[in-house]
Amino acid sequence: MRAVIVAAAVAFIISLFGTPVAIRVFTALKAGQPIRTLGPASHQGKKGTPTMGGVVFIIATVVAYAAGHVALTTLPERQIAQESPTMTALVLLGLFVFCGVVGFLDDFLKVRRRNSDGLSAKGKLLGQLIVGGAFAIVALYVPSTNGETVASESISFIRDVSWLDVGKVGSVLVFVFVIMSMSNGVNLTDGLDGLATGASILVLGSYSLIGFWQYRHWCGDTDYARVNEYCYQVRDPLEIAMIAAAAAAACVGFLWWNTSPARIFMGDAGALGLGGLIGGLAIATRTTLLSIIIGGLFVIITMSVVIQIISFKTTGKRVFRMSPLQHHFELAGWSEVNIVVRFWIVAGICVAIGLGLFYSDFLAAMG
């Protein structure tokens, strides 16, 4: 627990005090956010607000992870099994960083061209496909000394579902789909001050709890597994808890400056990075299908876009005034702060239901 707390504290401090530095730097570089002319008219006042702020909490998380490992050296011998950086950390932080790089390229092109046209949709999807595919191969084909891989060959809910074994190739495809879906889901949610940041904090916090719970009931802990039949067959759960806690805390520090009225935006660098990390956490904790509930707000907002597109292409009519869903409520007269807070409540309910299902499975097995 000490390592998790240290990582979270370091990430929060770096992000809280690093973000205003980034604001000054990006402002000096004239890296202001271009605003779409087709968006709500109220957004035009945000034009010029520095973007690419996601770089701050990505760096804060990576540094905090290293700090957490320093804290591990003070733990009792039984708890030091994960003292060295692991393949799980490589996959999770790699997804965070390189999905962020794809988003950073998109942000950079928007700033350079002084309009909202960054990477093309195909270019962005191709970048996500390459990143997801590369780390999927690492996650499935590089086992630890006990034979455990970061990802499994079965689709999981609260743990692997044995009859949903799809093999290595199928698992690579599932891995890529999850990463692309979640990264685009967070990206679509980003659009109002603090909305995606706050929702991500809740989801990342839940994965920190899940990772730590799995660590306390881990099949890799021989002392625990010897006396308990029920344990979690995952790889490096303490790493998962540390990274999720660090990312959540880094987002809290960033939210101080990102809440309405935002002084900096996370940009696609932050949104795609967060989505990639959340997708990776779902796979690493063997909660792939449960992530649909935990990240329910992202799913709802993504589905609003899908419904809008399908409806318009098939009937010529729009279901919502504008998609993603948050803009529908803007045009309906809700204030930005009301939308953000109410959507955070929805995100919190989804997280609570997901954690409840996770814990009820444990109680059922132990009973």
Across the chain, mean pLDDT equals 89
For residue 200, give the nearest of 108, 100, 286, 98 by alpha carbon.
Answer: 100
The pLDDT value recorded for residue 86 is 86
Mean per-residue pLDDT, 197-215 = 96
Span 193-207, mean pLDDT? 97
Q: What is the 3-state secondary structure (H, E, C) of 121-174?
A: HHHHHHHHHHHHHHHHHHHHHCCCCCCCCCCCCEEECCCEEEEEECHHHHHHHH
Percent of the chain with pLDDT over 90: 67
Region 135-161: mean pLDDT is 86
**Under a CB-based contact definition with an 8 Å cutoff, are residues 68 and 14 in contact?**
no
CB 356 within 8 A of CB 158: no
Round to whole Å and give the CA distance between 350 and 295: 7
Question: Residues with Cβ < 8 Å from 153, sequence gap 6 or more?
Answer: 140, 165, 166, 167, 168, 170, 171
> Per the confidence metrics, is the pTM higher than 0.85?
yes
Grouping H, G, I as helix, E, B as strand and the rest as coil, residue 233 is coil
28 has a pLDDT exceeding 50: yes
What's the pLDDT at 45? 61
Cα gap 92→131, rounded to integer Å: 12
Tokens of residue 208, six digits: 């920190």
Residue 146's pLDDT is 61
At a CB cut-off of 8 Å and minimum separation 6, what does 19 contact?
53, 56, 253, 254, 256, 257, 258, 264
Share of the chain above pLDDT 70, in %: 90
Give residue 78's pLDDT band: very low, low, confident or very high (50, 70, 90): very low
pLDDT band at 328 (very low <50, low <70, confident <90, very high): very high
- Residue pLDDT, tens place only, 84-127: 678 999 999 999 999 999 999 999 888 887 766 778 889 999 99
Helix (H, G, I), strand (E, B) or coil at 230: coil
* Predicted local confidence at residue 277, as pLDDT: 98
Q: Minimum mean pLDDT among 140-154, 178-192, 214-228: which range?
A: 214-228
Q: What is the sign of the dihedral through the CA atoms of 58, 63, 67 and 70?
A: positive
Letter for the amino acid at 221? Answer: D
77 pLDDT tier (thresholds 50, 70, 90)? very low
pLDDT digits (tens, 9 = 90+) for 170-187: 999 999 999 999 999 999
Give tens-digit pLDDT for 265-293.
999 999 999 999 999 999 999 999 999 99
Percent helix, percent strand, percent coil in the chain, to nearest 5: 70, 5, 25
Please give the average per-residue pLDDT across 322-336, as a whole number.
92
Measured CA to CA, the distance from residue 115 to residue 356 in angstroms comes to: 44
**Whole-angstrom Cα distance, residue 141 to residue 166?**
15
Taking the C-alpha atoms of residue 187 and residue 179, their distance in angstroms, rounded to an integer, is: 12
pLDDT in tens, 38-62: 556 566 667 778 889 999 999 999 9
Question: What is the structure's pLDDT at 84?
Answer: 66
Mean pLDDT is lowest, of 124-128, 199-203, 215-219, 305-309, for 215-219
On the question of pLDDT at 80 being above 50, the answer is no
Residue type, 256: W
Q: Taking 60 as the threshold, does the pLDDT of residue 317 lie above it?
A: yes
Range with lowest mean pLDDT among 33-37, 58-62, 183-187, 353-357: 33-37
In this model, does residue 83 exceed pLDDT 60?
A: no
